[in-house]
Amino acid sequence: MAPQINPADFTNLTLEAHENDVWVVTLNRPSKRNALDSATVEEMVEFFSLAPRAGVRAIVLAGAGDHFCAGLDLVEHHDADRSPAEFMHLCLRWHEAFNKMEYGGVPIIAALHGAVVGGGLELASSAHVRVMDETTYFALPEGQRGLFTGGGATIRVTDLVGKARMIDMMLMGRVYSGAEAEEVGLAQYRVDGSSFDKAMELANRAAENLPLSNFAICSAVSHMQNMSAMDAAYAEAVVAGVVNTQPDARARLAAFADKSGARIRKD
Ligand code: 1HE
């Protein structure tokens, strides 16, 4: 039986099921600018482990209050005075959550506003699509705080902006916003109005695709990036073998063949 997600089991995340099996996941510690403490990370591991098996068709990831996420909970980190091994294990829990997001097969649209910094940018870069608004800004202040990224930025933020920009962001504490942030690849969409409304629109659009197609798009592409070209081509053929022959696709193919299906036009 498919597992159920019970929103009442979550405290630092607010979970809402919307129509079309689109779920909204909101980081809900606005008084702490949604800083990621260890309890929040555990809730993310839990939710993103369940979502692919619980019939969730798409997810909007948002932050309550004026900021998306201020990154690692620096106060918890200071108070805990962690050993190297303890912090390593904490980072591995971040990776558990973020890998579940990136490789889980359910489209995740991040609705960004305000600060998307440090671990907040690591979280946002684990989503498949990022939408920013005019308040959104991105930075990796770890270098200035005497820290280093531990939640996958060296991989995912570098993938988004390239190595030279990544190193510059970390060395200089450079802050990206507006058109420049969009141009360097930190967000695929930039809106004048509400990033949340746009993210909902995109999530609903993605939810119209067949789940198996979305699973491949939101899992296989990332896996294949980690493979040699030869292995990726092989894996792509195997995934396409499964996805492109799914019975649920036949009606869509038939609609194209009988000319009732939508044509791809530029506007
Ligand atoms: C926090 C955190 C936090 C806010 N950990 N508590 N991340 C950073 O270096 C970002 C640190 N935060 C900031 O620069 C600012 O807080 C913001 C620009 C995000 C927001 O500014 P503002 O003026 O709206 O809020 P504030 O007054 O700075 O903070 C409000 C409260 O949120 C305050 O708590 P309060 O109990 O005194 O009211 C802050 O302490 C709390 N707060 N940010 C803990 N990050 C796996 S490695 C990842 C490495 C990293 O992520 S490094 C962290 C980078």
Tell me what percent of the residues of the chain surpass a pLDDT of 90: 99
If one counts the domains in the chain, the total is 2
> What spacing in Å lies between the alpha carbon of 76 and ligand 1's midpoint?
11
Locate the ligand 1 atom nearest the alpha carbon of residue 32 and give its number: 32
- At 146, list the tokens: 């005497």
Q: Report which residue type is found at 225.
A: Q
CA 225 – CA 240 distance, rounded (Å): 16
Choosing from 170, 192, 207, the residue where a domain stops is: 207
CA 209 – CA 189 distance, rounded (Å): 20
Q: Report which residue type is found at 138.
A: F
Greatest extent of the chain over all pairs of C-alpha atoms, in Å: 66
User: What are the pLDDT digits (tens) for 203-252?
Assistant: 999 999 999 999 999 999 999 999 999 999 999 999 999 999 999 999 99
User: What are the pLDDT digits (tens) for 168-208?
Assistant: 999 999 999 999 999 999 999 999 999 999 999 999 999 99
Q: Which pairing describes strands 129-132 and 108-112: parallel, antiparallel, or unpaired?
A: parallel
User: Under a CB-based contact definition with an 8 Å cutoff, are residues 184 and 161 in contact?
Assistant: yes
Residues 6+ away with beta carbon under 8 Å from 201: none
Based on the domain organization, do 149 and 223 belong to the same domain?
A: no
Pocket test for ligand 1, best of 27, 32, 33, 95 (most atoms within 8 A of CB): 33
> What spacing in Å lies between the alpha carbon of 235 and ligand 1's midpoint?
42
pLDDT of residue 267: 83
With a 6 Å cutoff on the Cβ, whether 72 touches ligand 1 is yes
Based on the domain organization, do 48 and 178 belong to the same domain?
A: yes
Based on the domain organization, do 203 and 113 belong to the same domain?
A: yes
Based on the domain organization, do 133 and 245 belong to the same domain?
A: no
Range of the domain at 229: 211-257
Please pick, among 46, 102, 122, 180, the residue that the annotation labels catalytic: 122
> What spacing in Å lies between the alpha carbon of 70 and ligand 1's midpoint?
5
For ligand 1, atom 44: residue with the closest CA:
73
Structural element, H or E, at residue 207: helix 195-207
